[in-house]
Amino acid sequence: MKIAFLNPPFLKNFSRPQRSPAVTKSGTLYYPLWLSSAAALAEKEGHAIDLIDAPADGFDLGYVLQRLREFGPGLIVVDTSTPSIYNDVEVCGKIKEVLPGSFLLLVGTHVSALPKESLMIGDAVDAVASGEYDYTVLEVAEAVEKGRELRDVRGICYRAPEGAVCTERRPLIEDLDAIPFVSSMYKRFLHIGNYFNPNALFPMVTITTSRGCPYQCIFCVYPQTMMGHRMRLRSVQNVVDEIQYVVESFPGVQSIFFEDDTFTALKHRCIEISNEILKRGIRIAWTANARADLDYETMRVMRAAGCRCMCVGFESGSQTLLDTIKKKMDTEKMMRFMEDARRAGILVHGCFMVGHPGETQETMQQTLNLAKRLNPDTAQFYPIMIYPGTEAYAWYKERGLISTGDFSKWLTPSGLHNTVIRTEKLSAADLVRFCDHARREFYLRPQYLFYKAKQTLLNPREMRRNLKSARTFLKYLVRGTDVSKSLP
């Protein structure tokens, strides 16, 4: 069967696959990782596939419709996100007009959290998939191709004469090695120069070594809607085989980004992967998502194997708020972590959020103070973004602290993150203004400017990363956010 996998057109450079979808101030654009994974498995099982990433390639709706018409798929798998959901369903309507016999399946975090609601937004959508959908796509394809009932396909909500029908939840995938390398889909269908993360050397390739996260942070969307809190692991051999494939198959690639929710959750595994990289003599820089509880000895081995940077969610400088959001972390551990990272020679990108339950002006200032003390290589400051299916979304909704039920308002008119929540003591405007202030306070320190200038001038690879990020980031740093035009 012919199956098309579509990251649908919306705003140019709209980073739909990331945890907080938007057009970003840093120019970040994520690979369609999960869509590509499902495409790789479908091809392995004998289906003819096409993979289209419209926002990354700048494809408009007309181009996408023409390409789909020429390919003639019987099944079209359409990625979605909370802020783009209405657009995504509208695109499905246009597809149905030119391919009335095709079956349209929506996937992603938003539809996993709200399957019935998403199905009923528009008549063109035939079904939505909840959770991990790699094998769901295969079963839907078989049912459509052979004219079978959908009731036996686990993990979907489909349109029936009696209304929306949801089947039982699909179990999580145990054998991740059975899924072909996601990077093989990048090689065939995507252009790596389109994708950028300021924490990784450019150009980079994103893969994952595991699924699921054992931690319970109330805001994190993927573990709560799709991948679960139980980690499932690719074998070390399989992971390093893909690293080797990337190095050999993508001329000019400078780095790999491990997009696991928490790559460092299992320290012994970090060491095993690092040792296998060293054993094979593979030389490539890599970046990974990490927690601030990693020890120096593990970092030392990771650094020897090419780890250049870790992305760490410090989130808040208030211990009370860290406990509230179930971070299971304290600021003393954070400080030790940063000292060890510097000693190991690994850069750190720090993530800081405001607007947590119980947030005040005082706790926000504690967060900024902590960011300055930690002094990571780069830092981001954002009001918390909440999405359906998360504990955080439920908390704000129950208290009437979400300003709109229109998911399109999760973005500003230009596609940037919008702040749709407030706290008991702070307005959305208070949160946005503080983040603008925090960025300036962090990035415009004389010692930081000197450090970045030195890094840029002395290291050509870092220069390319810094200059690419600065093209978009600096205008927001200087101009700030026009609160009057962005908030709902």
DSSP letters along 475-487, please? Answer: HHHHH---HHHH-
Query: Using only C-alpha atoms, what is the Rg of the chain?
Result: 22
Residue 121 lies in a domain: yes
Token pair 């060890």 is found at 340
Which strands sit side by side in the sheet containing 103-107, from one edge to the other? 48-53, 2-7, 75-79, 103-107, 127-129, 156-160, 163-166
Q: 159 and 225 share a domain? A: no
Grouping H, G, I as helix, E, B as strand and the rest as coil, residue 470 is: helix
Tell me the C-alpha distance between 25 and 470, whole Å: 9
Q: 161 and 218 share a domain? A: no
pLDDT recorded at residue 172? 97
Give every CB contact of residue 20 below 8 A, 6+ residues apart in sequence: 221, 382, 385, 387, 417
DSSP letters, 240-290, are: HHHHHHHHHHSTT--EEEE--TTGGGSHHHHHHHHHHHHHHT---EEEEEE
Q: 315 and 426 share a domain? A: yes
Residue 486 lies in a domain: no
Tell me the C-alpha distance between 260 and 231, whole Å: 10
Q: 237 and 109 share a domain? A: no
Tell me the C-alpha distance between 326 and 217, whole Å: 5
Residue 185 lies in a domain: no
pLDDT recorded at residue 453? 84
Cα 160 to Cα 86, 127, 151, distances in angstroms: 21, 10, 10
The long-range contacts involving 172-177, CB below 8 angstroms and separated by at least 24 positions, are 172/131, 172/132, 172/211, 172/212, 172/227, 172/228, 172/230, 172/232, 173/132, 173/134, 173/135, 173/211, 173/232, 174/232, 176/210, 176/211, 176/232, 176/233, 176/234, 176/238, 177/234, 177/235, 177/238
CATH number at residue 337: 3.80.30.20
For the entire predicted model, the pTM comes to 0.94
Grouping H, G, I as helix, E, B as strand and the rest as coil, residue 295 is: coil
| Domain range for 213 | 197-480
Q: 148 and 281 share a domain? A: no
- The encoded tokens of residue 70 equal 């020429």
Is the CB of residue 466 less than 8 Å from the CB of residue 452? Answer: yes
Grouping H, G, I as helix, E, B as strand and the rest as coil, residue 190 is: coil
Give every CB contact of residue 184 below 8 A, 6+ residues apart in sequence: 40, 245
Q: 34 and 140 share a domain? A: yes
DSSP letters, 316-351, are: -S-HHHHHHTT----HHHHHHHHHHHHHHT-EEEEE
Please, what sign has the CA dihedral across residues 131, 133, 139, 142?
positive
Q: 292 and 428 share a domain? A: yes
Tell me the C-alpha distance between 183 and 195, whole Å: 13
pLDDT recorded at residue 486? 52
Is the CB of residue 263 less than 8 Å from the CB of residue 303? Answer: no
Residue 254 lies in a domain: yes
Ramachandran sector of residue 207 (left: φ over 0; alpha: ψ -120 to 50; beta: rest): beta
Q: 317 and 441 share a domain? A: yes
pLDDT recorded at residue 473? 62
Q: 357 and 298 share a domain? A: yes
Residue 174 lies in a domain: no
CA atoms within 13 A on the CB side of 114: 16
- Which of 120, 148, 166 is the last residue before a domain boundary? 166
Amino acid at 477: L
Is the CB of residue 168 less than 8 Å from the CB of residue 115? Answer: no
Q: 155 and 276 share a domain? A: no
Residue 205 lies in a domain: yes
Tell me the C-alpha distance between 171 and 182, whole Å: 21
Q: 133 and 240 share a domain? A: no
- Which of 124, 146, 166 is the last residue before a domain boundary? 166
pLDDT recorded at residue 449? 87
Residue 85 lies in a domain: yes
CATH number at residue 129: 3.40.50.2300
Query: What's the structural domain count of the chain?
Result: 2
Residue 401: enclosing H or E segment and its boundaries?
none
Is the CB of residue 308 less than 8 Å from the CB of residue 201? Answer: yes
Residue-wise pLDDT for 248-270, tens only, equals 999 999 999 999 999 999 999 99
Q: How many CB atoms lie within 10 A of CB 183?
A: 25
Q: 239 and 146 share a domain? A: no
- Which of 116, 148, 166 is the last residue before a domain boundary? 166
Cα 39 to Cα 32, 184, 277, distances in angstroms: 10, 10, 27
Residue 439 lies in a domain: yes
Q: What is the pLDDT along the chain (488 residues), one digit of tens a residue?
A: 999 999 999 999 999 999 999 998 888 999 999 999 999 999 999 999 999 999 999 999 999 999 999 999 999 999 999 999 999 999 999 999 999 999 999 999 999 999 999 999 999 999 999 999 999 999 999 999 999 999 999 999 999 888 899 999 999 999 999 999 999 999 999 999 999 998 999 999 999 999 999 999 999 999 999 999 999 999 999 999 999 999 999 999 999 999 999 999 999 999 999 999 999 999 999 999 999 999 999 999 999 999 999 999 999 999 999 999 999 999 999 999 999 999 999 999 999 999 999 999 999 999 999 999 999 999 999 999 999 999 999 999 999 999 999 999 999 999 999 999 999 999 999 999 999 999 999 999 999 888 888 888 877 777 767 766 666 566 556 566 655 555 55
> Taking every pair of C-alpha atoms in the chain, what is the biggest distance, in angstroms?
67
> Can you say how many angstroms the Cα of residue 39 is from the centroid of all Cα atoms in its chain?
18
Instruction: Print the SS3 string covering 378-390.
Output: EEEEEECCCCCCC
pLDDT recorded at residue 67? 98
- The encoded tokens of residue 126 equal 């035939």
